[in-house]
Structure 1
């Protein structure tokens, strides 16, 4: 069979491509819903329906349900029996508990990892902070900025070598993702301030563990009051 110039190569390219399957549509749908929640376009407490979402996103029920299940497991959506599906909301107590537990866990992580900070490990930490700065400078999607901020804070847990501590951190990530989304909305930003982690990195690479532990208390407290006020007003 003869194709016009260039058409044969195009057909070969098409053959190499795989059809967009339900898994891809689920991923795209989950990412889009996450973005809408993180940016506040879907406000905390908003009730959602499968029919409405399927129509708005032009997606079939199968991959939509998988995407919803993923976001429920991530803590961004809440499915209440006999009531429906809602964008997660948080009480002041919820936010205070996230703050206090996160502070305690991260202080413990630094105690555990302090003696394990090799030059290579510190270079890794600086690289994660640089990646976050680049995200802020480039104005990338809020969800991507949150992922990079979580990756930065994961460093001390990973380096600690404490398996149960790392498991606790992984389980807490969904709560932190939600907290960071509220934090960004409260401050009207797409991500953290560019210089937000300067002191954190300086002390993490320094010699004074007690100064690091004290800064963690202060670092975690930053923005909590504004976020609490935002959540209460919302």
Structure 2
């Protein structure tokens, strides 16, 4: 085998690996979105065959994607039963909310020095779309997740974005409880608008405080919902 042939084979192998990785990321991302949209809920058994058919792929990539989600603590394997969407206790959810609130507050303080008028305008448009989505929680919730992700990204701190994302993923199943009434969704979105106002004034202390309080108010709504 010539050096040129070896190089071509190595390149083809790298391309194949990249394609396989991209496919797994695509499937894992879609499965995560199904959890966010409420199509898969805590305690649901994940049917690999049905998912493979729905996603137009074989069971192998679906199984590998589920292993990625298991690492993210969104699903869990139960011996002799298969893969299930993970359930978390109220106490664990409350603890995760506290961590998430601290991270969100830090993101707000950092974002105040970095938020451009263009970025804030784009976020205000998303807040307006959330107003239009208020009557439908399954529409509101994914948009809400997207807005929060963008707010954290304004921090310019990739590690913070990653940590916030990891904690938020575990709360997908519980966070819905705090947004299931029209009043709760309206209150939440009004807080979004206030946060953007503080970011527009480059008020790091106020932005950080509002963003932390925003998450903690979501925690209280969740606790009230599960206790009622």
Residue 223 (str. 1) matches residue 221 (str. 2) = no
- The whole-number CA distance in structure 2 between the counterparts of 1:189 and 1:66 is 37
The aligned residue for residue 9 of structure 2 is: none
The aligned residue for residue 159 of structure 2 is: 167
Pick the aligned partner of 1:198 from 190, 193, 197: 193
Pick the aligned partner of 2:43 from 23, 31, 45: 45
- The whole-number CA distance in structure 2 between the counterparts of 1:32 and 1:112 is 30
Q: Deviation at 1:85?
A: 1.6
Residue 134 (str. 1) matches residue 129 (str. 2) = yes
Q: What CA deviation, in whole Å up to 9, does each residue of 1:9-54 have, x standing for no partner?
A: xxxxxxxxxxxx8778656644543343223332212233434544
Seen in structure 2, the aligned counterparts of structure 1 residues 73 and 136 have a Cα distance that, compared at 3 Å, is farther
Q: Deviation at 1:146?
A: 1.9
Pick the aligned partner of 2:100 from 87, 96, 102: 102
Seen in structure 2, the aligned counterparts of structure 1 residues 216 and 149 have a Cα distance that, compared at 3 Å, is closer
Q: What CA deviation, in whole Å up to 9, does each residue of 1:140-189 have, x standing for no partner?
A: 6854552333112321x21xxxx5xx414313303213425532354337
Q: Deviation at 1:227?
A: 2.0
Seen in structure 2, the aligned counterparts of structure 1 residues 212 and 23 have a Cα distance that, compared at 3 Å, is closer
- The whole-number CA distance in structure 1 between the counterparts of 2:57 and 2:117 is 45
Please say if residues 103 and 164 of structure 2, whose CA atoms lie closer than 8 Å, have aligned partners that are also in contact. Answer: no
The aligned residue for residue 61 of structure 2 is: 63
Residue 146 (str. 1) matches residue 145 (str. 2) = yes
The aligned residue for residue 168 of structure 2 is: 176
Residue 78 (str. 1) matches residue 70 (str. 2) = no
- The whole-number CA distance in structure 2 between the counterparts of 1:64 and 1:199 is 41
Moved more, 105-114 or 135-144: 135-144
Seen in structure 2, the aligned counterparts of structure 1 residues 68 and 203 have a Cα distance that, compared at 3 Å, is same
Stretches of structure 2 that go unaligned for 5 or more consecutive residues are 1-18
RMSD: 3.8
User: How many residues align structurally?
Assistant: 203
Seen in structure 2, the aligned counterparts of structure 1 residues 46 and 121 have a Cα distance that, compared at 3 Å, is same
Please say if residues 35 and 142 of structure 1, whose CA atoms lie closer than 8 Å, have aligned partners that are also in contact. Answer: no
- TM-score (normalizing by structure 2): 0.66
- TM-score (normalizing by structure 1): 0.64
SS of 1:90 mapped into structure 2: coil
Please say if residues 125 and 152 of structure 1, whose CA atoms lie closer than 8 Å, have aligned partners that are also in contact. Answer: no
The aligned residue for residue 18 of structure 1 is: none
